[in-house]
Amino acid sequence: MPETPAQWYARVSAALEADGYRESDLQQWSSWPWTGTLTPKPLEPPAEVEPDRHGAGGVDCRSCATGLDPQAGGAVWWDDLFYVGAGLDSSLPFAAFLMPRRHADLGDLTAAEAARQGELLTAIEDAARASLSIPRIQVARWGDGGEHLHWWLYARPTGMLQLRGTFLSHWDDLLPGRATEEVRADARLWAAELVQRVGGQLPEG
């Protein structure tokens, strides 16, 4: 039988009390953004009830509002099923998010939506690499804050090896952002490339 959350917490807490946290080699990683020693927080027990996520059930969901009117919502590309927005406050050469136009989480996608999602993730990387000096995109889905499915897509500048891998989103939080117009100009380039590959629409003007 799989562990219940309470059993998981009891087992891990007992091991922590006996042996402490495991040693980590994260500080040896070239991509680790910090220097000095970081202390793990005490482990809290599991909550009785998971909190509601933003937009639960589609109520007051900002992402749904953009899905209804992608151009007014600031999307840089869209089709009948999905839209893509650009991370306007990012420090990176490419930061974007991919979302379904209707209110859905990952497990709610239809077969057609799931197929289009996979096609778009591949095509977005192709379009971004064709337009910008990046080696590849990193794809992340957390989903604990908002119920409406959203994939975060990031890319570092080619040759910036310190930003490789797991901590790219943390570096993006730490480094100074770019001018919004520069981000928008780059987004117009890769969004136009995306249309060439998979169709869809771009904002007017």
Helix (H, G, I), strand (E, B) or coil at 17: helix
Q: Which of 95, 77, 81, 71 is nearest to 188 (CA)?
A: 77
Residue 106 half-sphere exposure toward CB, CA atoms < 13 A: 9
- Distance CA(99)–CA(4), nearest Å, equals 32
CATH of 1-205, one of 3.10.620.30, 3.30.428.10, 3.40.50.1820, 3.30.200.20: 3.30.428.10
Place of tokens 């989903």: 143
Averaged pLDDT, groups of 10, the chain, 205 residues long: 94 95 88 90 94 94 95 96 96 97 97 98 98 97 95 97 94 94 96 98 89
Please report the pLDDT score of residue 38 as a whole number: 86
Please report the pLDDT score of residue 26 as a whole number: 87
Q: Which of 95, 80, 55, 65 is nearest to 182 (CA)?
A: 95
Please report the pLDDT score of residue 24 as a whole number: 86
Please report the pLDDT score of residue 27 as a whole number: 86
Token pair for 43: 């482990």
Q: How far separated are the first and last CA of the chain, in Å rounded?
A: 58
Contacts 24+ apart (CB under 8 A), 111-116: 112/81, 113/81, 113/82, 116/79, 116/81, 116/82
